[in-house]
Amino acid sequence: MPMKKDIEKVLFSEEQIAQIVDRLGATITKDYENKNLLLVGILKGSVIFMADLMRKINLPCKIEFMALSSYGASTRSSGVVRIIKDLSIDIEDYDVLIIEDILDSGNTLSKLKAMLELRNPKSLKICAFFDKPERRTADIKADYIGAEIPDEFIVGYGLDFTEKYRNLPYVGVIKPELYN
Protein backbone atom coordinates (compact mmCIF):
# COMPACT_ATOMS: atom_id res chain seq x y z
CA MET A 1 0.00 0.00 0.00
CA PRO A 2 1.65 3.26 -1.10
CA MET A 3 0.55 5.21 1.99
CA LYS A 4 2.38 2.83 4.30
CA LYS A 5 5.59 4.79 3.64
CA ASP A 6 3.99 7.73 5.49
CA ILE A 7 3.35 5.68 8.64
CA GLU A 8 5.96 5.66 11.40
CA LYS A 9 4.42 2.68 13.22
CA VAL A 10 1.20 0.69 13.41
CA LEU A 11 -0.62 1.07 16.74
CA PHE A 12 -3.64 -1.17 16.06
CA SER A 13 -3.89 -3.92 13.46
CA GLU A 14 -7.09 -4.89 11.68
CA GLU A 15 -7.43 -7.85 14.07
CA GLN A 16 -7.01 -5.66 17.17
CA ILE A 17 -9.58 -3.19 15.84
CA ALA A 18 -12.07 -6.04 15.25
CA GLN A 19 -11.61 -7.27 18.84
CA ILE A 20 -12.25 -3.78 20.22
CA VAL A 21 -15.40 -3.36 18.10
CA ASP A 22 -16.67 -6.80 19.19
CA ARG A 23 -16.19 -5.86 22.87
CA LEU A 24 -17.90 -2.49 22.50
CA GLY A 25 -20.80 -4.00 20.53
CA ALA A 26 -21.43 -6.64 23.20
CA THR A 27 -21.35 -4.06 26.01
CA ILE A 28 -23.64 -1.63 24.21
CA THR A 29 -26.07 -4.45 23.35
CA LYS A 30 -26.31 -5.33 27.05
CA ASP A 31 -26.61 -1.72 28.23
CA TYR A 32 -29.26 -0.66 25.70
CA GLU A 33 -31.57 -3.66 25.89
CA ASN A 34 -35.22 -2.48 25.87
CA LYS A 35 -34.18 1.09 25.01
CA ASN A 36 -34.83 3.22 21.94
CA LEU A 37 -31.25 3.43 20.67
CA LEU A 38 -30.17 6.10 18.21
CA LEU A 39 -26.55 6.05 17.08
CA VAL A 40 -25.29 9.49 16.06
CA GLY A 41 -22.11 9.22 14.04
CA ILE A 42 -19.83 12.23 13.85
CA LEU A 43 -18.65 12.60 10.27
CA LYS A 44 -16.32 11.95 8.72
CA GLY A 45 -14.01 10.18 11.14
CA SER A 46 -16.52 7.84 12.78
CA VAL A 47 -18.04 6.40 9.61
CA ILE A 48 -15.93 3.22 9.42
CA PHE A 49 -16.11 2.61 13.17
CA MET A 50 -19.86 3.21 13.25
CA ALA A 51 -20.49 0.89 10.31
CA ASP A 52 -18.55 -1.89 12.04
CA LEU A 53 -20.00 -1.18 15.49
CA MET A 54 -23.67 -1.09 14.50
CA ARG A 55 -23.32 -4.55 12.97
CA LYS A 56 -22.07 -5.80 16.37
CA ILE A 57 -24.99 -4.29 18.30
CA ASN A 58 -27.59 -7.02 18.51
CA LEU A 59 -30.58 -4.70 19.00
CA PRO A 60 -32.88 -2.63 16.84
CA CYS A 61 -31.38 0.82 16.43
CA LYS A 62 -31.56 3.84 14.19
CA ILE A 63 -28.68 5.90 12.86
CA GLU A 64 -28.13 9.57 12.18
CA PHE A 65 -25.09 11.66 11.33
CA MET A 66 -23.70 15.05 12.21
CA ALA A 67 -20.71 16.79 10.71
CA LEU A 68 -18.64 19.12 12.86
CA SER A 69 -15.30 20.75 12.30
CA SER A 70 -12.63 22.12 14.61
CA TYR A 71 -9.35 21.03 12.99
CA GLY A 72 -9.15 22.42 9.46
CA ALA A 73 -5.73 21.44 8.05
CA SER A 74 -4.03 21.33 11.45
CA THR A 75 -3.16 18.50 13.80
CA ARG A 76 -4.54 20.52 16.72
CA SER A 77 -8.10 21.63 17.32
CA SER A 78 -8.74 25.33 16.73
CA GLY A 79 -11.28 25.36 19.56
CA VAL A 80 -13.96 26.74 17.21
CA VAL A 81 -16.62 24.12 16.52
CA ARG A 82 -18.65 24.52 13.34
CA ILE A 83 -21.79 22.46 12.63
CA ILE A 84 -21.67 21.48 8.99
CA LYS A 85 -24.54 18.94 9.05
CA ASP A 86 -27.15 18.75 11.79
CA LEU A 87 -29.49 15.89 12.70
CA SER A 88 -32.57 15.42 10.54
CA ILE A 89 -34.82 14.04 13.32
CA ASP A 90 -36.05 15.06 16.76
CA ILE A 91 -34.10 13.06 19.38
CA GLU A 92 -36.50 13.58 22.31
CA ASP A 93 -37.74 9.95 22.36
CA TYR A 94 -34.32 8.36 21.91
CA ASP A 95 -31.48 7.00 23.98
CA VAL A 96 -28.74 8.72 22.02
CA LEU A 97 -25.25 7.29 21.73
CA ILE A 98 -22.77 9.63 20.05
CA ILE A 99 -20.23 7.64 18.02
CA GLU A 100 -16.88 9.40 17.69
CA ASP A 101 -13.54 8.31 16.28
CA ILE A 102 -11.35 10.00 18.90
CA LEU A 103 -11.80 11.96 22.11
CA ASP A 104 -8.86 14.36 22.06
CA SER A 105 -9.11 17.84 23.63
CA GLY A 106 -12.79 17.17 24.26
CA ASN A 107 -13.81 20.65 23.10
CA THR A 108 -15.88 19.45 20.15
CA LEU A 109 -17.66 16.68 22.06
CA SER A 110 -18.26 18.90 25.07
CA LYS A 111 -19.99 21.51 22.92
CA LEU A 112 -21.90 18.86 20.97
CA LYS A 113 -23.10 17.11 24.12
CA ALA A 114 -24.35 20.38 25.62
CA MET A 115 -26.20 21.18 22.40
CA LEU A 116 -27.82 17.73 22.18
CA GLU A 117 -28.83 17.78 25.87
CA LEU A 118 -30.96 20.85 25.08
CA ARG A 119 -32.95 18.64 22.68
CA ASN A 120 -34.11 16.45 25.61
CA PRO A 121 -33.09 12.91 24.64
CA LYS A 122 -34.10 10.13 27.06
CA SER A 123 -30.38 9.59 27.63
CA LEU A 124 -27.16 10.80 26.05
CA LYS A 125 -23.85 8.97 26.13
CA ILE A 126 -20.60 8.93 24.17
CA CYS A 127 -18.72 6.06 22.56
CA ALA A 128 -15.21 6.96 21.36
CA PHE A 129 -13.02 4.46 19.58
CA PHE A 130 -9.91 6.19 20.89
CA ASP A 131 -9.32 8.28 23.98
CA LYS A 132 -6.29 10.57 24.22
CA PRO A 133 -6.57 11.85 27.83
CA GLU A 134 -3.20 13.67 27.79
CA ARG A 135 -4.69 16.24 25.41
CA ARG A 136 -7.96 16.83 27.31
CA THR A 137 -8.78 20.47 27.95
CA ALA A 138 -12.58 20.12 28.35
CA ASP A 139 -14.23 18.34 31.27
CA ILE A 140 -15.71 15.39 29.39
CA LYS A 141 -15.33 11.62 29.38
CA ALA A 142 -16.63 8.95 27.06
CA ASP A 143 -18.98 6.35 28.48
CA TYR A 144 -17.54 3.69 26.16
CA ILE A 145 -13.90 3.69 25.06
CA GLY A 146 -12.27 1.36 22.58
CA ALA A 147 -8.67 2.09 23.58
CA GLU A 148 -6.64 4.74 25.30
CA ILE A 149 -3.76 6.04 23.20
CA PRO A 150 -0.68 8.20 23.76
CA ASP A 151 -0.39 11.77 22.49
CA GLU A 152 0.63 10.90 18.94
CA PHE A 153 -1.01 11.92 15.67
CA ILE A 154 -2.78 8.85 14.33
CA VAL A 155 -4.46 8.06 11.02
CA GLY A 156 -6.39 5.17 9.54
CA TYR A 157 -9.71 3.45 10.27
CA GLY A 158 -11.51 6.72 9.55
CA LEU A 159 -8.97 9.08 11.11
CA ASP A 160 -7.34 11.48 8.72
CA PHE A 161 -4.72 14.10 8.12
CA THR A 162 -5.94 16.70 5.59
CA GLU A 163 -8.64 14.24 4.46
CA LYS A 164 -6.08 11.54 3.60
CA TYR A 165 -5.37 8.12 5.16
CA ARG A 166 -8.96 7.46 6.36
CA ASN A 167 -9.04 4.32 4.21
CA LEU A 168 -6.14 2.58 5.94
CA PRO A 169 -7.47 -0.67 7.47
CA TYR A 170 -5.23 -0.24 10.52
CA VAL A 171 -4.36 2.69 12.80
CA GLY A 172 -0.87 4.11 12.60
CA VAL A 173 1.20 7.05 13.71
CA ILE A 174 1.89 9.38 10.80
CA LYS A 175 5.48 10.52 10.34
CA PRO A 176 5.91 13.94 12.01
CA GLU A 177 7.76 15.39 9.03
CA LEU A 178 4.49 15.21 7.08
CA TYR A 179 2.76 17.75 9.34
CA ASN A 180 5.54 19.77 10.98
Statement: residue 141 has pLDDT above 60: yes
Which range is least confidently modeled, 37-41, 80-84, 143-147?
80-84
- State in Å, rounded, how far the first CA of the chain is from the last one: 23
The helix or strand, by DSSP H or E, that contains position 43, with its residue range, turns out to be strand 37-43
Domain boundaries, given as residue ranges, for the chain:
14-150
Alpha-carbon Rg of the chain, whole angstroms?
16
The partner residues of 89 in beta bridges, in order of sequence, read none
Tens-place pLDDT, residues 160-175? 998 899 999 999 999 8
Q: Which residues of 123-135 are buried (b: 16+ CB within 10 A; e: fewer)?
A: ebbbbbbbbbeeb
The per-residue pLDDT for 180 is 73
Task: Determine phi and psi for 163, rounding to 5 degrees.
Answer: 70, 10
Catalytic one of 101, 104, 131, 160: 104
pLDDT confidence band for 148 (50 / 70 / 90)? very high
Q: What percent of the chain has pLDDT over 90?
A: 76
- The rounded distance, in Å, linking the Cα atoms of 72 and 99 is 20
108 — pLDDT class (breaks 50, 70, 90): confident
Torsion of CA 130, 132, 133, 139, to 10 degrees: -70
- CA-to-CA distance for 132 and 18, rounded, in angstroms? 20
Please state which architecture CATH assigns to domain 14-150. Answer: 3-Layer(aba) Sandwich (3.40)
For the question of residue 131 being annotated catalytic, the response is no
pLDDT at residue 140 tops 80: yes
> What digits encode the pLDDT tens for the residues 4-52?
788 999 999 999 999 999 999 999 999 999 999 999 999 999 999 999 9
1: pLDDT strictly greater than 50: no
pLDDT value at residue 179: 77
pLDDT at 76: 54
Distance CA 111, CA 124 (A): 13
Give the number of other Cβ atoms within 10 Å of residue 176's Cβ: 11
Helices of type H across the chain: 14-31, 47-54, 107-117
Mean pLDDT of the region 99-115: 92
